[in-house]
Amino acid sequence: MTVATAFLAVTLALLLVVLVYVHRLAAGPTVFDRILGVNAFGTTSTVVLLLLGVLYDRLDMFVDVALAYALLTFISSLAAARYFERTGHQR
């Protein structure tokens, strides 16, 4: 088993993990569960992006995209948390 196969296997497994977070995003009983799903989705997607960069052999391009995506995920989940801290949660 070469390392490229290992990278491919981990990428596919992480796509299944992302599906789990999408389930939490759709089914979470409170709004905070949904924000948590978005946050975990974005963080895991950053990893998937970098692993795809390794698989496509274009890591120099993908790493910049991954950094911007990680920043976007952090800012958006922080903003959503502050917003729902003021307005309260509904089911």
Cα(50)–Cα(3) distance, rounded to whole angstroms?
A: 15
Sequence-ordered list of residues with C-beta below 8 angstroms from that of 44, at least 6 positions apart, any chain: 14, 17, 18, 21
Residues 34-53 that bind another protein (CB under 8 A): 35-37, 39-40, 43-44, 46-47, 50-51, 53
Q: How far is the CB of 88 from another protein (least distance, A)?
A: 5
- The answer to whether residue 88 forms part of the interface with another protein (CB under 8 A) is yes
Tokens in use for 91?
């089911």
Q: How far is the CB of 1 from another protein (least distance, A)?
A: 8
Cα(9)–Cα(15) distance, rounded to whole angstroms?
A: 10
Closest among 6, 81, 82 to 39, alpha carbons compared: 81
Q: Which residues bind another protein (CB under 8 A)?
A: 2-3, 6-7, 10, 13-14, 17, 20-21, 23-24, 28-30, 32-33, 35-37, 39-40, 43-44, 46-47, 50-51, 53-54, 59-60, 63-64, 66-67, 70-71, 73-74, 77-78, 81-82, 84-85, 88-89
